[in-house]
Amino acid sequence: MAENLIDIRELKKYYPVHGGIFKRHIADIKAVDGVDLKIEKGECLGLVGESGCGKTTLGKTILRLHGATSGRIYFGQSEDIIERIESLLKSENPEERQEGEKLLRQHDLTRLSRKNLLPLRKKIQIVFQDPSNSLNPRMLVKAIIAEPLIAQRLMSGKDIEKRVLELLYTVGLAKEHMMRYPHEFSGGQRQRIAIARALATYPEFILMDEPTSALDVSVQAQILNLLKKLQDEFKLTYLFVTHHLLVVKHISNRIAVMYLGKMAELGPTAEIFDKPLHPYTKALLSAIPIPDPKTKMEKIILSGDVPNPINPPSGCRFHPRCKYAKDICREVEPKLEVAEGRHQVACHRWKEIS
Ligand code: SF4
């Protein structure tokens, strides 16, 4: 069985909405609303869904760029300790629950103090969508890549320069690029610099937040191939957030489909593409253009927009747009259940409609 690097339990991230003259808390935007997810060591997990489904928020909450509202995130923890904490938290005995809370402060990423979080920072990195915004235009490439090494006090002096040079070569750039500014590079080269910076601290996990979406199509494939190569070379684990399904098909081992803050379907990439089980996944896949005019595929047009995450629909959140919806779908929320092997789906009627 594959070992998990990240184990997420019942994660919620709500953004408060304030209104009225006294700016009182009147509602919450439920961006991530009770997500359970395991990311295996060395895999690339693709996270897909429409804009506003909560995929980027989920990624940034894992990185602690956003604080979680509730839930647990275990990073690099053994199965034994996770199960022990989880069983203590469910205990009827208040003392055992207290013991569980105490252990959470040492092992749950959402609760770690700043001091305890610091050593983890170097293991967890991010590559943002748009390198033009994520790279400081006033800094030389050398300083940009060296920044996390200095902040983490991993190296000093000549060692930093050596490491920067090594990273530039790793991402396909050269020594002469060290003393240039980001605006002197093309979009693809800027993304290579951002990747080099993410690799600087020898991370184990990198959140790829739409890393190819802002690039020209011709450059996208080069960056994807580079990311694949780096993953193999450094045994990295990726969470690859994107709305582009063909990109995740190319790079991911498994795919997780999110809808309105919840997981709809999760499974190995080939299975999700060959036999999607959730009506939402089917609709997403049917929208992929096929580059062969002779091949016809029925497009599933979803009616209406994604509902408001402040007041999501009852039961299955997808029911107002689902042609298979029945009474149970409006009343009972479907849970992510195992369909087969590692394939999971959250739909009451997947057996009838698959
Ligand atoms: Fe559609 Fe019901 Fe399945 Fe939701 S639970 S996706 S509404 S069939």
**Spacing, Cα 279 to ligand 1 middle (Å):** 7
Task: Determine if ligand 1 sits within 6 Å of the CB of residue 168.
Answer: no
Task: Determine if ligand 1 sits within 6 Å of the CB of residue 30.
Answer: no
Task: Determine if ligand 1 sits within 6 Å of the CB of residue 194.
Answer: no
Between residues 19 and 287, the one the model is more confident about: 19
Task: Determine if ligand 1 sits within 6 Å of the CB of residue 348.
Answer: yes
Q: What tens digit of pLDDT does each residue of 182-206 get?
A: 999 999 999 999 999 999 999 999 9
Q: Which residue's alpha carbon is nearest to atom 5 within ligand 1? A: 347
pLDDT at residue 2 in the model:
75
How many other C-beta atoms can be found within 10 angstroms of the C-beta atom of residue 299? 10
**Spacing, Cα 314 to ligand 1 middle (Å):** 12
pLDDT at residue 216 in the model:
87
How confident is residue 162, by pLDDT bands cut at 50, 70 and 90? very high
**Spacing, Cα 352 to ligand 1 middle (Å):** 11
Ligand 1 nearest-atom number relative to CA 316: 4
Ligand 1 nearest-atom number relative to CA 329: 2
Q: Quick check: 293 pLDDT over 70?
A: no
Average pLDDT for the chain = 93
Are 168 and 142 within 8 A, CB to CB?
A: no
Residue 259's contacts (CB-CB under 8 Å, 6 or more residues apart) are 49, 50, 53, 280, 306, 317, 318
The one-character DSSP state at 108 is B
Are 309 and 30 within 8 A, CB to CB?
A: yes
Give 149-182 as a 3 state SS string: HHHCCCCCHHHHHHHHHHHHHHCCCCHHHCCCCH
Ligand 1 nearest-atom number relative to CA 322: 1
pLDDT at residue 297 in the model:
65
**Spacing, Cα 307 to ligand 1 middle (Å):** 15
CA gap 101, 99 in Å, rounded: 5
**Spacing, Cα 308 to ligand 1 middle (Å):** 18
Average of per-residue pLDDT across 168-192: 95
Task: Determine if ligand 1 sits within 6 Å of the CB of residue 329.
Answer: yes
Are 312 and 33 within 8 A, CB to CB?
A: yes
How confident is residue 1, by pLDDT bands cut at 50, 70 and 90? low
**Spacing, Cα 165 to ligand 1 middle (Å):** 53
Which position has the token pair 């890393």?
A: 211
Which position has the token pair 């060692």?
A: 159
Q: Which residue's alpha carbon is nearest to atom 6 within ligand 1? A: 347
Half-sphere exposure of residue 228: CA atoms within 13 angstroms, side-chain side = 13
Q: Which residue's alpha carbon is nearest to atom 3 within ligand 1? A: 347
How confident is residue 291, by pLDDT bands cut at 50, 70 and 90? low
Q: Which residue's alpha carbon is nearest to atom 7 within ligand 1? A: 319
Q: Which of 263, 316, 326 to mutate to test ligand 1, by most ligand atoms within 8 A of the CB atom?
A: 316
Between residues 248 and 217, the one the model is more confident about: 248
DSSP 272-337: HHHS--SHHHHHHHHTSPPS-TT------PPPSPPPPTTSPPSSSTTGGG-TT--HHHHHSPPP-E
Strand order in the sheet with 70-75: 24-40, 4-19, 70-75
pLDDT at residue 28 in the model:
95
Cα angle 208-214-218, degrees, rounded to a multiple of 5: 100
